Amino acid sequence: MMNQKNNILDAWILIEQLSEGDIKLKDKRLRTISEGERSFQQLFAKVIEKEGANLSERALKKSGIVFYFDIFDFKEIIDIIRDMFHISPPTSYEEIKQSNKFTFALYFDYQLNFQADKFFRSISGYIRYKKEIPEDFYKIEIAARDRISEQFENGSFDKTISWLLKVYNVHLGKCRYSFIKNLESDAINLHSFFINDLRKAKNVSSENLERYFEGFSGNRQNLDSQNTSIGFSERIFEEILQPKFYPLGRFPTNPKHKLSFMQQVAVNLALHDSNDIRSVNGPPGTGKTTLLKDIFADLVVQQAYEISKLKNKNLKGSIKAYKESTLAILPREISNKNIVVASSNNGAVQNIVKELPRLKDIDRQFQYVSYFKDLYELPKDDKLSKDNEEYWGLFSLEGGKLSNVNKLLAQIKKIKGYLSTEYESDSNVYSKFIQKYNDLKAEISDIQKYADSLKELKKARAVFKDQLEKFESENEQNSAEIFHQKEIVENELQLNLEEQAQLSFENSNIIHELDSLNLNNSQYQKEYNLLLSRRPTFFNIRKLFNSMIVKNYQNELSESIVKSGDLTNKLLEVQTLKMELDKKVEF
């Protein structure tokens, strides 16, 4: 992991170095040198004499010449690096910023003395010349500076320039020079101020630095705000947007124009989340600066609260500064809420710093609260001042280069003078602020309690809904089971009714058959009795024993007995069947 970190930092350092040494050939201040020129000293001296004619002696002594040596197209360096790292040319169109670089920038004062401390060598020129990336470019630059300085000390001005042209095989068409009014402020060819910090980072281990290179390894939360998205989580946003996390201050814009949903999420996270590194991304015009304003406003309120709590509002200086002056150390509770807007893009910083105090963005009801408005002055050459832009006060100032720092210090000096001469102090303002602060905190606490109650109500509703759904589901299942059992019973009842009807029908038939059998039985009984009455006497039997009458009688009697027996059996069978049928009907 350490090698990965160092590789990233080395690549970053190289990118910063490759961004140096730009020169715009269309700049009208740049002058060309004819190929036949032999006296560079006279050429430069004439320019200084001409340009310095309208300058005071004091201003003239600050002037000088810058000589840009060996100018080339930066695309050459891109091709060299591609070959060096075996990077194939892009197969599709690739937009590359067209720019030119120089190898050296030599600075001379108004008497054409070489200014070694302002010597500048670009790494692009070194790579072009050596076809390699140096391990320690700083040493190489110092060695080149010392060698050139020695040449100017031991040889003539013109011979040293000619020597440089010969050593590096450069013709004058690839060189430019320009008159500089102030070598101290206008010698702008400086190395990136990031490089030293990047070098230090290679030997530093801190939580934030390691996180930057290794990435965030903690729990990640999906902040997809589209409520129709599969990744949307209402619970996360409810947690972030609790009243207790809202800022205590707001930038004095129109109160009706509140932050958007995700802007408020970003503000709450920036002020209360435990992470020290945060990123807000979005194209221009999506409200990034707007949410920054509310973050700044909250930090100002927190600073005011910490100041109001101080027992001694006058901090005693403990650090020696310029001459007899001293600097006091701000308590950490105040200093850790300071705001620094930093970027590798000066334009981005300027846009934020100059947008914050614009009067037109301040709501009319708050414009009377001017923050040292009368002391705010823009430089005459500032674009915003040309547009007649108005400002409500000294809320933000640009730093960075020396001229900006001097302007910032001048404004602070004005504020100090105003506070010590014109401003009327109000000793009660601190207690008034504390009271307002506490009132607001109490109101937020009440709103938070209400929000917590709503949250509990929502939970109770969810539980009730789940129980209701469970009850309805069980009730639906029970109803379905009851309906099913009812169908079974009704079907069985219907079958029983049909069976009972069938049994009743059979019973009716049996009764009818039984009646018929009883009738037949009665008839057979009569016939049998009649047959018995016709029986011959014993004498007659003997007499007629062999007669046909006796035989016929015997046959009829025998048949009658058989039929009577069959009928009796049938009658018993039908009576038994009727008894069984009666039992079924009763059941």
Higher pLDDT, residue 325 or 25: 25
pLDDT given for residue 499 in this prediction: 75
Please provide the average confidence, as pLDDT, over all residues in the chain. Answer: 84
pLDDT at 288: 87
Both tokens of residue 115?
A: 């200014």
Give how far the C-alpha of residue 286 lies from the chain's centroid of Cα atoms, to the nearest Å: 14
Return the closest-CA partner of residue 303 out of 248, 382, 344, 226: 248
**Lowest-pLDDT range, 22-26, 118-122, 486-490?**
486-490
Q: At 516, is the pLDDT very low, low, confident or very high (cuts 50, 70, 90)? A: confident
CB atoms within 10 A of CB 494: 10
Rounded to two decimals, what is the model's pTM? 0.60
For tokens 């309805």, name the residue: 472
User: Does the pLDDT at position 112 exceed 70?
Assistant: yes
Nearest alpha-carbon partner for 29 in 162, 179, 133, 165:
179
Q: What SS3 state is found at 265?
A: helix
Per-residue pLDDT tens over the stretch 341-373? 887 677 778 888 888 888 888 898 888 887 787
Number of DSSP helices (H) and strands (E) in the chain, helices first? 20, 7
* pLDDT band per the 50, 70, 90 thresholds, residue 427: confident
Q: Which residues fall within 8 angstroms of residue 362, CB to CB, at 6 or more apart?
A: 252, 253, 392
Is the pLDDT reported for residue 578 higher than 70?
A: no
Grade residue 98 by pLDDT with cuts at 50, 70 and 90: confident
- Asked if 175 and 70 count as a contact pair (C-beta separation under 8 A), the reply is yes
Within 8 A by CB and 6+ apart from 372, the residues are: 393, 394, 414, 415, 418
pLDDT top residue among 323 and 119:
119
- 408 DSSP β-pair partners: none
> What is the predicted pLDDT for the residue at 189?
64
pLDDT in the model for residue 433: 94
Confidence of residue 587 (pLDDT cuts 50, 70, 90): low
Reply yes or no on whether the pLDDT at 539 is more than 60: no
Which pLDDT score is estimated for 177?
A: 97
CA distance 528 to 525: 5
DSSP reduced 3-state for 101: strand
Q: Which helix (H) or strand (E) holds 109?
A: strand 100-109
**Maximum mean pLDDT: which of 283-287, 423-427, 476-480, 502-506:** 476-480
Alpha-carbon distance of 20 to 100, in angstroms, equals: 10
Tell me the torsion sign for CA atoms 322, 328, 333, 337.
negative
pLDDT tier at 180, thresholds 50, 70, 90: very high
Over residues 144-159, the pLDDT tens digits come to 999 999 999 998 999 9
Give residue 386's pLDDT.
45
Dihedral, CA of residue 17, residue 21, residue 22 and residue 25, to nearest 10: -160
pLDDT of residue 528: 66
pLDDT in tens, 37-96: 889 999 999 999 999 999 999 999 999 999 999 999 999 999 999 999 888 877 655 556
Q: Which two tokens stand for residue 87?
A: 């990077």
Mean pLDDT of 540-549: 54
pLDDT value of position 244: 94
User: What whole-number distance in Å separates Cα of residue 379 and Cα of residue 370?
Assistant: 20
Question: Which pLDDT belongs to residue 28?
Answer: 93
Residue 536: predicted pLDDT: 58
Query: Does residue 389 carry a pLDDT above 90?
Result: no
Q: What is the pLDDT confidence band of residue 171, given thresholds at 50, 70 and 90? A: very high
DSSP category for residue 218: S
